[in-house]
A and B are shown apart, each in its own frame.
Chain A
Amino acid sequence: MVKLIYSPQWFYGKDILIDIISIFVLLLIALFSLKYYRIKKNRNYLYLASSFILLASSFLFKILMNLNIYYKFIETKQFGLVTAVYQNMKQSHSLFFTSFLLYYLLTLFGVYALYSTYQKQSMPNHLLLIYLIFISTYLTYPHYYLFHLTLLILLGLVAYTYSRRYINKKHFSTKLVAYSFWAITISQIFYISIDLNNNLYIIGELIQLVGYSSLLIAFIMVLRYGRKENKDRHHW
């Protein structure tokens, strides 16, 4: 079986590092969201945590998928601008395919769960969309760009929702979260276009890193604000 990857060889492993940073940010926010849920008992915290956990798990499978490709290839050939890596996947095909499928599915479910945290759906709508996510995962394999196009639309809706919230509330940390999601959305445009030039993959990964880093900064701001000293308090 033949697989194509679009990352320049020198970038192998570096994208995995970016994914590990993304997992760290997602799990950190999910953990605090679960902690806040225990205090506030507001289900939105639970939904946010679940969607971030789904996204973090999807990155784990992406890493597994990439490790499978990067460390088992046997021959590399150059076709114009695109580097094609041929590999003998006979032994690891099922592991690769499972990781690939779970990466697609969990990513789409994660982003959809995030979207429905803000845009509440009825149960029939949920079932319909879950069905469509399954179908789209099945059909987009192995068309990489279709998956990223679906993700571009879903993430765009999430980023738009955050932007609307910022416009209404004018809260700086909401602005930062909106920027983060716009960055993650824009990174999808580069993933869609990797057929044109394999360096676009690197740009996509770097924009993803910017997105998750600003999400981390927004979260640190939340923590710092909460931990401000109660300066007006006297000790009686």
Chain B
Amino acid sequence: MAGKRTRIDIIGDMLASILDKGGKIKPTHLMYKSNLAHSQMVGYLNELVEKSLIRKVKKDKNEYIIITDKGCELVQKLREIKEFEHAFGL
């Protein structure tokens, strides 16, 4: 069984979930995909917006979350770290 996710793991999972959906996702989908409670997700979303990793847009009465270039860079960096972790068995 996998251990408890750290803050950076959760952020990585959220950003990767957005990328999986082509870079744009509805908040409810993101909540399910990243396995978070609503209150937790709101907290993380605010932080990600503040750090310019995602942005929110409204289209046809729906709200969407869009990953930014900076967010994509972080996903790549986290992927690199994960690979390093595998390679060196950390």
Residues on A facing B (Cβ under 8 Å): 32-33, 36, 39-42, 44-45, 48, 117-118, 161-162, 165, 169, 171, 173-174, 176-177, 218-219, 221-223, 225-228, 230, 232-236
Contacts and interface: CB of A to CB of B under 8 A. Distances in A.
A233 B76 contact: no
A165 B72 contact: no
B84 A222 contact: yes
Given A39-B77, A225-B79, A236-B66, A169 B86 contact: yes
A34 B81 CA distance: 11
Interface in B6-36: 6, 8, 19-20, 22-24
B57 to A, nearest CB: 7
B87 A221 contact: yes
A230 B22 CA distance: 9
7 contacts: A118-B89, A161-B89, A165-B89, A171-B86, A236-B23, A236-B24, A236-B64
B80 A40 contact: no
Contacts of B53: none
Given A222-B80, A225-B83, 7 more contacts: A44-B90, A169-B86, A169-B89, A171-B87, A173-B83, A225-B79, A233-B22
Q: Chain A interface secondary structure, helix, strand, loop or mixed?
A: helix
* Residue among A45, A48, A236 having the largest count of chain B Cβ atoms under 10 Å: A236
Nearest to A52: B88
A234 to B, nearest CB: 5
A32 B83 CA distance: 12
A236 to B, nearest CB: 5
Interface in B59-82: 64, 66-67, 72, 75-81
B75 A173 contact: no
Given A41-B6, A233-B19, A235-B23, A225 B89 contact: no
Nearest to B55: A236
A174 B24 contact: no
A224 to B, nearest CB: 9
Nearest 4 Cβ contacts at the A-B interface: A226-B80, A173-B87, A165-B89, A233-B23
A144 B22 CA distance: 60
